[in-house]
Structure 1
Amino acid sequence: MTAPLLEALEVRKSYGDRVVLDDVTLDVHPHDVVCLIGSSGSGKSTLLRCLNLLEDVDDGVIRFEGREISDPHVDPREVRQRMGMVFQAYNLFPHLSVLDNCTLAPRRVHGLARGAAEDRARELLATFGLADHVDKHPDRLSGGQQQRVALVRALCTQPTLLLLDEITAALDPELVGEVLGIVRDLAERGTTMVLATHEMGFAREVATTVCFLSDGRILEQGPPQQIFTDPREERTRQFLTRVLPG
Structure 2
Amino acid sequence: MTPVLEVRGVVKRYGVRGVVKRYGAATVLDGVDLTVDEHQVVTLIGASGSGKSTLLRCVDLLEEIDDGLVLLDGVDVSDPRADVAAAQRRMAIVFQAFNLFPHMTAVQNVALAPRVVHRLPGAEADDRAHELLRRVGLGAFADAYPDRLSGGQQQRVAIARALAVRPRLLLLDEITSALDPELVGEVLTIVRELAETGITILMATHEMGFARQVSDRVCFLDGGRVLESGPPGQVLGDPVHERTRQFLARVIAAGRLV
- After TM superposition, the score normalised by the length of structure 2 is 0.93
- What is the 5 A alignment of 1:151-230? 151-230=159-238
Secondary structure, in 3 states, of the residue corresponding to 1:96? coil
Counterpart position of 2:3: none
Letter in 2 for 1:166: E
Q: Which moved more, 1:69-78 or 1:43-52?
A: 69-78
CA distance in 1, matches of 2:113, 2:55: 24
Q: What secondary structure sits across from 1:62 in the alignment?
A: strand
| C-alpha distance in 2 between matches for 1:59 and 1:68 | 12
Give the Cα–Cα distance (whole angstroms) in 2 for the partners of residues 113 and 150 of structure 1.
21
Rounded Cα–Cα distance in structure 2 between residues aligned with 1:65 and 1:225? 28
1:141 and 2:154 matched: no
Q: Corresponding residue for 1:126?
A: 134
Q: What code does the residue aligned with 2:42 have?
A: V
8 A Cα contact 2:133 2:160, kept in partner: yes
The answer to whether the aligner puts 1:8 opposite 2:16 as a matched pair is yes
Say if 2:93 and 2:172, in contact at 8 Å, map to a contact too.
yes
Please report the TM-score for the alignment, with normalisation by the length of structure 1.
0.97
1:202 Cα deviation from its structure 2 partner: 0.2
C-alpha distance in 2 between matches for 1:142 and 1:4: 38
2:15, 2:59 within 8 Å by CA — same for their partners in 1? no
Offset at 1:128? 1.3
2:67 partner amino acid: D
Larger CA deviation: 112-121 vs 73-82: 73-82
SS in 1 for 2:203: strand
Q: Percent identity?
A: 59
| Aligned-residue offset at 1:105 | 0.5
CA distance in 2, matches of 1:147, 1:76: 26
Counterpart of 1:79 in structure 2 is 87
Contact 1:4–1:27 (CA under 8 A) maintained in structure 2: no
Which residue is equivalent to 1:88?
A: 96
Say which SS state the counterpart of residue 24 (structure 1) adopts: strand
- The gaps in structure 2 that reach 5 residues or longer are 1-5
Across the two proteins, how many residue pairs are aligned to each other?
246
Kindly state the Cα deviation for residue 66 of structure 1 after the two structures are TM-superposed.
2.0
**Deviation at 1:4?**
3.6
SS in 2 for 1:35: strand
Aligned equivalents of 1:25 and 1:54: distance in 2? 18
Report if aligned partners of 2:211, 2:218 keep a CA contact under 8 Å in 1. Answer: yes
